[in-house]
Every structure is written in C-alpha cells, then in structure tokens.
Amino acid sequence: MSKIITIILVTVLVVYLFRRMASERVKPPPSEKKGAVEDMVRCQTCGVNLPRSEALMSKGRFYCCDEHRKSDN
Ligand SMILES: [Zn+2]
C-alpha cells in the first residue's frame, strides 16, 4: 500500500516540475515586446511626442505638422 502512495507522490512531483519548466519557457522574450513599440520623436516647435512614421522631418529635426516645420525655419 505504501508503494502505491510513493508512486502517486512521485508522479505528482514529476508533473509539477514539468509544468513549472513549461511555464518558464512560455514567457515571451523582452526584446520582442520592445520591437513592437515604435520610436517616438519630439516636435521641435511645440514639443509634442509622436511616432516617427507620423512625424515630418526637415534638416534632421522632427515636426508634428507642416505648419510647425515652416514656423521653425
Ligand atoms: Zn508641433
């Protein structure tokens, strides 16, 4: 009878350890999350932050709109 209890305990322990190992592997790498966030740039005129793809660039500076780009020149 004690043999059965030992087998059950060992089985439970093995399953627990396997689940813990599996859950640790599932964790997504931090670099993947960072890559999804787009670079933010600051408008030289009003200082608003916006994604680089939406910003206007002139002479190495970023602007939120065409009006601010013109007013800074
Ligand atoms: Zn602006």
User: How many domains does the chain fold into?
Assistant: 1
Instruction: Using the mean position of ligand 1's atoms as its centre, give its distance from the Cα of residue 42 in Å.
Output: 8
Instruction: Using the mean position of ligand 1's atoms as its centre, give its distance from the Cα of residue 46 in Å.
Output: 4
Instruction: Using the mean position of ligand 1's atoms as its centre, give its distance from the Cα of residue 43 in Å.
Output: 5
Distance CA 65, CA 60 (A): 15
Instruction: Using the mean position of ligand 1's atoms as its centre, give its distance from the Cα of residue 24 in Å.
Output: 45
Give the residue numbers spanning the domain of 12: 2-72
For residue range 21-72, what is the model confidence (pLDDT) as tens digits? 888 776 666 665 555 577 999 999 999 999 999 999 999 999 999 999 999 7
User: Do 46 and 64 contact (CB within 8 A), yes or no?
Assistant: yes
- Tell me the two tokens of residue 57: 């660039």
pLDDT at 72: 79
CA 46 to chain centre: 28
What is the three-class DSSP state of 23? helix
What is the three-class DSSP state of 41? strand
